[in-house]
Structure 1
Amino acid sequence: MILVVGGAGYIGSHVVNRLVETEQVVVYDNLSTGCREAVNEQAIFIEGELADEKRLTHVFSLFSIKTVVHLAAASPEVESNENPQLYYENNVTATLVLLKVMREHHVKNIIYSSTVLTYARTNEPLHEQSYIETTNSYARSKYFSEQILQDYTLAYKMNCIVLRYLNGSGSQEGDLVNAFSLALETVAKNEQVFKIYNLGNGQGSLVKEIKETNEEITNNNINLSSSRIEDQPVFIESLKKIQQELGYYAEKNLQHMISNAWNGHQNKNFNF
């Protein structure tokens, strides 16, 4: 059985849609940014705070959980420097609670959703060993959690895969969901592993290009400030490592991803 923490969110709900095809899934979410209606009916849903050790322990006692997919986080990075306590409590302290409960119930497998915002901004392709330069509390909280996970993997013989990405889009047929599936297969067949992988389509997209593609597909006008429209891509991930080690390939371009997301959600009242 797989526990998806944050499984009622945009990416989480699509990951759950894929997982229920072959696995029993429990979704644990506080619904602060997620949507209950987005959770697949085949999954068991439990509302709760990740930092609530008592409630989380109850969940692990009820179900035979083998692997955790950790997608829960306070994420709007623009706000994180204004209220760092919220981000460190939600993203670091709560992760420590999760890991403690996992250890108590002998659950050793975890997939962690991280961010390419851990890297220094550049127009060069980013590799997993690229220079780290976090510029806000959100990115730092994610990077600190990665370091904690690495320590736990080594000390407690856990299996952890960290996926770094930004601005996911599409549905359960998209590139990100495929990567989560491959990551789950990898931790399931290893006894001790800690790996970090970049995700994306290996291409940068201008804000102007995204705006125009959205307008073309949805027939809606999108109003953005002139400064945003002129933004240049600053995170272009190299996918060489995940391609070679997990067999992951990004098959969708920008138009495919936006069409996929629009077709999948235009008739659903999901409050993402």
Structure 2
Amino acid sequence: MQLKLGWLYPTLMGTYGDRGNVICLEKRAQWRDIEVEIIPLDKEAPLEAWSDIDLIVGGGAQDRQQEIVMRDLQGAKAAKFKALIEDAVPGVFTCGSPQLLGKYYEPALGQRIEGLGILDLVSKHPGFEAKRCIGNVAFEITANPLADDLTKKLGQKPVALGFENHGGRTYLGDVQPLGKVLTGYGNNGEDGWEGAFYKMAIATYAHGPLLPKNPFIADWLLEKALERKYQQTVEFSPIDDNLAKQARNTMFKRLDLAELSSTA
């Protein structure tokens, strides 16, 4: 089996270490004898590079880099990207990437940056005097079918761990939140929701990177990408995630969420 992994603007949108999500997906696929081809979807990529993508990863960026990306991702390229999401290509988008997928982002300084409008959400920076949303975040995944699939896989409600660092606040419209905040800020520090979920696209403020801290999400993305490509049910056998489980349990205790410590 083979997968094409599209990596959104690796240089411009790689500020916060989210390349770790790409590495995690690649390694967990290779450990199962699945070949992964990583396709940089950046300014230099030809239009045909956006074709036949099986899985997409997008990371975070600062305002200036994000504006460059938003100016570049227009026209036929934007149409290709939208078509992938609407066709239920799985993906994980962190921090700046969900703002890119939303309707617009209002920076602390400068004009509103128009997004692609794929996700019904808007993001606004409240100003330089406002406190940044920084720290560890834990949230129960509630969006379906993701939550139901993971509950069956884990035998318990899925809880994701990450680290957030964002000045902007995101407000959801008619789109599922990814999960319910247990500790941390989430989308805006006000409504108790974190991220968004649409079709098979995961949008979140959780760095970490997200997938090494929550390998069951990585496996879900890979399974769904393979099922879509090969039109057959895919269910991975477990692999040794003992170190990740130990790290998760340590973090649950540190966050006073020891009751969530488990084998997941």
Class of the TM-score when normalised by the shorter of the 2 chains: 0.3 to 0.5
What is the TM-score normalised by the length of structure 2? 0.37
Structure label with greater radius of gyration: 1
Higher share of residues assigned strand: 2
